[in-house]
């Protein structure tokens, strides 16, 4: 039978037929513009097609931070850099060589900000923002990139602990499915407004775990990522409660902590876990650090490893019984001698002073903990680093 | 211990601190603008903040199609509708009441097209495009929404059939993990440029399967979604081969078909499958329909159920041995009497004539098949419908 078209003409027809959401010029612009382009010298080139724009800028965490002052105080924000217009209507920016890292960016065209890069399918959602990203190879960037190593499995499962089924993400290490062994478990919690997708998308946890395990730096372990917003059963798009907006949703009312022992029981029942305190860890960022602190002190028999990443230590709702008697409960927890109590925060994090106060409390009682202070603020760059630093210490004591 | 701040002040600080990629005004615009808003009458309201824009438009598959004529011929594209500027710099559009469906959209501001909705975290990637979406409830829309029913598990696993490990997505139905039963398997293939994420994100397959199974319309089954682009081992972001651009990548050179029996063996080994022809189905869209046709005729003992969705029937590369002798191989396949050979295509699909020719070939030989012709073209709306129509027919004959 004769082939009526060549592959190339098939592609041309396909390109036209799958123009579902773009004017034609936009369709072709996707084909023409390469962005991001990571260069051999460790710089990145970003491009944006905007033929009649007056000004195109990029903002991202690879640029020096700015300080912005408002009536509510000062805060830092990522820097901004201009793109240069080329003759064909494409604007271009080339950075200096960058330190190896995963970086985020978005564009600003005239007065429209937060624009995604239409040439790239490399993006991640954090809460209600979609951000493009690129990775500069090297020591740190390589940790966040998929490598040619054995990969774990990532599953979205529905856990029916508590009042109703909730969606969660579970990482099982390479070899779990084909073997029969039992594994320790890390419970890895997200921040305010995040969900069970956060550590996978923006946290790059599967790549970090695969790489650390392949290098022999971390024990093979199961990692469970719950959804800590008990108002919702799942991340946007996966809940039967309609199109809820994640921004600002969170649970610091004791409800998440209360159901946690049932989550642990469910995991121990459904996975081949080593179901004992010395093979269980809990850590989280921001609200998830708060949750980790609360859960580990509320149930001192559950976790021997605790990690607080930029933890929102004193930020729970008022008049929640579970949050009362903190000192007394910490006393019980530390009497049971956890093997590792690990606290990390950036020097410019807005929760820094809370953590100073919390450490002062621990110091006053003589409770042992490890403290890591990094540069920077309340940002994923730090949380990825903290995870990569915390995980190699687990289940070895 | 005194709580130093209220929850609300924590949120305000958090909102400022997590402004990683946006100028501040953009951050607050995310909080202020609600979009999309699905109204009680089945219409949708979309909003976009663009205070100094001259013209803001929306394009999407809920608007009447336009015909665009170029030097290469005519093709259809989604319609365009203008938004109206409100006093606060927000532009707004309210549709007519819409038929129940999942719809895509993107914005155009002056000469920038393909802009995502920064107020929404409801988006899906198709090949290299990111599209926002909304769902109008009702008979069809409800099928694509998570419902309060038992949910299956969705896993991303690495299959080491063939020359190197490749990532694939596997849906296991509710009850699989906690039970011991064996299940039939559907192999569900994507199109040119797609990957192992396509049917989950844009195809809404997990919601469709959960809902059809919960309603008793479909048998509980395992669904395996491979990556049919053998040049790459995984979707963008999950491959060690760097930041490759999915646009146009595909495999119609026999390589994917050749490794498929090993994929089936791998699945039969790693999952509790019913490992026989009468409990195996294969279907796919566009290139995946081509693959389904090629694989099912090449290995006539493997599949009793075959579905070709807008299949790119005659579009394989030239001079590929596996694609030769089609008539002879179809004769062997139909001699083995598959239980269902199902062909569906839209009346305005650019591959329509290919499918007419293919059906003429089947007719000339007297091979039995089922044919469904829908409205519309080479679009996901059709492929979701075809999946929902095909799956209830599986494993019942």
Look over chain A and give the mean of its residue pLDDT values, rounded to a whole number. Answer: 91
Q: Do the beta carbons of residue A333 and residue A301 sit within 8 Å?
A: no
User: Which of A112, A155, A326 is most worth mutating to test chain B (most B CB atoms within 10 A of its CB)?
Assistant: A112
Structure tokens belonging to residue B113: 């097209």
Structure tokens belonging to residue B350: 């650019």
Query: Rounded to whole angstroms, how far apart are CA atoms B45 and A100?
Result: 43
Reported as a pLDDT band with limits 50, 70 and 90, residue A15 is: low
Q: What is the mean pLDDT of residues A247-273?
A: 93
Q: Which residue of A has its CA nearest to B1?
A: A326
End-to-end CA distance of chain B: 68
Across the interface, of B14, B112, B312, the residue whose CB is closest to A192 is: B14
Query: Residue A170 CB: number of other CB atoms within 10 A?
Result: 23
Give contacts of A12 with chain B, Cβ < 8 Å.
Answer: 72
Give contacts of B7 with chain A, Cβ < 8 Å.
Answer: 252, 315-318
Q: What is the pLDDT of residues A69-106, one digit of tens each?
A: 888 787 778 899 999 999 999 999 999 999 999 999 99
- Name the residue with higher pLDDT: B7 or A175: A175
Across the interface, of B146, B245, B378, the residue whose CB is closest to A240 is: B146
Q: Is the CB of B378 less than 8 angstroms away from the CB of A128? A: no
User: Which of B40, B114, B167, B331 is most worth mutating to test chain A (most A CB atoms within 10 A of its CB)?
Assistant: B114
Q: Which residue of B has its CA nearest to A160?
A: B150
Across the interface, of A18, A19, A156, the residue whose CB is closest to B153 is: A156
Q: Is the CB of A151 less than 8 angstroms away from the CB of B129? A: no
Q: Which residue of B has its CA nearest to A201?
A: B237
Across the interface, of B108, B243, B247, the residue whose CB is closest to A122 is: B243
B278–chain A nearest CA distance, Å = 26
B235–chain A nearest CA distance, Å = 10
Q: Which residues contact A334 (CB under 8 A, 6 or more apart)?
A: A341, A365, A367, A368
Q: Is the CB of A314 less than 8 angstroms away from the CB of B115? A: no
Query: Residue A150 CB: number of other CB atoms within 10 A?
Result: 15
Return the pLDDT at A246: 83
Q: Do the beta carbons of residue A133 and residue A127 sit within 8 Å?
A: no
Give contacts of A122 with chain B, Cβ < 8 Å.
Answer: 236-237, 243
Give contacts of A30 with chain B, Cβ < 8 Å.
Answer: 114, 128-129, 247
∠ at Cα A329 (A323, A335), nearest 5°? 160
Point out which residues pair with A273 in neighbouring strands.
Answer: A183
Give contacts of B17 with chain A, Cβ < 8 Å.
Answer: 75, 349-350, 377-378
Instruction: Evaluate if residue A2 carries a pLDDT over 50.
Output: no
- The radius of gyration of chain B from alpha carbons, rounded to an integer in Å, stands at 23
Give contacts of A34 with chain B, Cβ < 8 Å.
Answer: 245
Q: Where do the domains of chain B lie, and which CATH numbers do they carry?
A: 22-141 (2.60.40.10), 146-393 (3.40.50.1820)
Q: Is the CB of A314 less than 8 angstroms away from the CB of B167? A: no
For residue A380, what are the CA distances in angstroms to A324, A334, B79, B247?
30, 29, 39, 29
Query: Rounded to whole angstroms, how far apart are CA atoms B19 and A77?
Result: 7
* CA-wise closest residue to B137 among B128, B147, B123: B147
Q: Is the CB of B26 less than 8 angstroms away from the CB of A114? A: yes
In terms of Cβ atoms closer than 10 Å to its own Cβ (0-12, 13-18, 19+), residue A152 is buried
Structure tokens belonging to residue A23: 């004017």
Q: Is the CB of A128 less than 8 angstroms away from the CB of B145? A: no
- DSSP for B309-323 reads ES--TT-SPTT-GGG
Q: Which residue of B has its CA nearest to A323?
A: B1
Q: Is the CB of B317 less than 8 angstroms away from the CB of A30? A: no
Q: Is the CB of A52 less than 8 angstroms away from the CB of B110? A: yes
Q: Is the CB of A178 less than 8 angstroms away from the CB of B270? A: yes
Q: What is the value of pTM for the model shown?
A: 0.93
Across the interface, of A20, A106, A350, the residue whose CB is closest to B104 is: A20
B135–chain A nearest CA distance, Å = 9
Across the interface, of A26, A116, A119, the residue whose CB is closest to B116 is: A116
Q: Which residue of B has its CA nearest to A158?
A: B151
Q: Is the CB of B378 less than 8 angstroms away from the CB of A5? A: no
Q: Is the CB of B119 less than 8 angstroms away from the CB of A128? A: yes
User: Which of B8, B9, B15, B18 is most worth mutating to test chain A (most A CB atoms within 10 A of its CB)?
Assistant: B18
Q: Is the CB of B13 less than 8 angstroms away from the CB of A238? A: no
* CA-wise closest residue to B27 among B37, B38, B13: B13
A305–chain B nearest CA distance, Å = 25
Mean pLDDT by 10 residues, chain B (397 residues): 46 53 36 88 96 94 87 82 95 97 96 92 89 96 96 97 93 95 98 95 97 98 96 93 81 95 97 98 98 98 98 94 97 98 96 98 98 94 98 95
Q: Is the CB of B129 less than 8 angstroms away from the CB of A30? A: yes
């Amino acid at each position: 039978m004769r082939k009526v078209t060549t592959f190339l003409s098939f592609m041309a027809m396909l390109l036209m037929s799958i123009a579902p959401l773009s004017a034609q010029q936009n369709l072709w612009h996707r084909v023409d513009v390469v962005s991001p382009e990571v260069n051999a010298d460790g710089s990145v080139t970003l491009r944006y097609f905007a033929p009649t724009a007056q000004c195109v800028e990029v903002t991202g965490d690879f640029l020096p931070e700015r300080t912005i002052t408002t009536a509510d105080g000062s805060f830092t924000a990522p820097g901004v850099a201009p793109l240069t217009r080329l003759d064909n209507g494409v604007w271009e920016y080339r950075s200096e060589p960058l330190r190896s890292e995963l970086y985020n960016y978005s564009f600003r065209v005239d007065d429209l900000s937060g624009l995604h890069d239409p040439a790239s399918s490399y993006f991640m959602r954090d809460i209600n923002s979609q951000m493009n990203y690129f990775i500069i190879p090297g020591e740190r960037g390589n940790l966040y990139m998929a490598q040619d190593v054995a990969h774990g499995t990532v599953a979205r499962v529905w856990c029916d602990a508590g009042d109703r089924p909730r969606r969660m993400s579970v990482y099982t290490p390479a070899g779990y499915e084909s073997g029969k062994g039992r594994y320790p478990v890390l419970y890895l919690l997200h921040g305010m407004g995040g969900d069970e997708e956060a550590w996978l998308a923006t946290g790059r946890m599967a790549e970090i775990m695969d790489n650390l395990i392949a290098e022999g730096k971390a024990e093979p372990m199961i990692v469970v990522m719950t959804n800590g917003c008990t108002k919702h059963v799942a991340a946007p798009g996966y809940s039967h409660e309609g199109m809820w907006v994640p921004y600002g949703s969170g649970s610091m009312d004791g409800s998440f902590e209360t159901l946690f022992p049932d989550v642990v029981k469910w995991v121990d029942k459904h996975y081949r876990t080593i179901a004992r305190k010395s093979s269980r860890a809990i850590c989280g960022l921001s609200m998830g650090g708060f949750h980790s602190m609360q859960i580990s002190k509320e149930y001192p028999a559950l976790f021997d490893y605790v990690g607080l990443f930029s933890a929102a230590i004193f930020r729970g709702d008022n008049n929640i019984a579970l949050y009362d008697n903190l000192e007394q409960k910490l006393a019980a927890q530390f009497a049971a001698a956890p093997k590792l109590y690990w606290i990390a925060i950036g020097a410019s994090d807005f929760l820094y002073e809370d953590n100073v106060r919390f450490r002062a409390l621990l110091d006053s009682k003589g409770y042992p903990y490890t403290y890591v202070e990094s540069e920077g603020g309340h940002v994923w760059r730090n949380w990825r680093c903290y995870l990569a630093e915390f995980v190699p210490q687990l289940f070895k004591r």
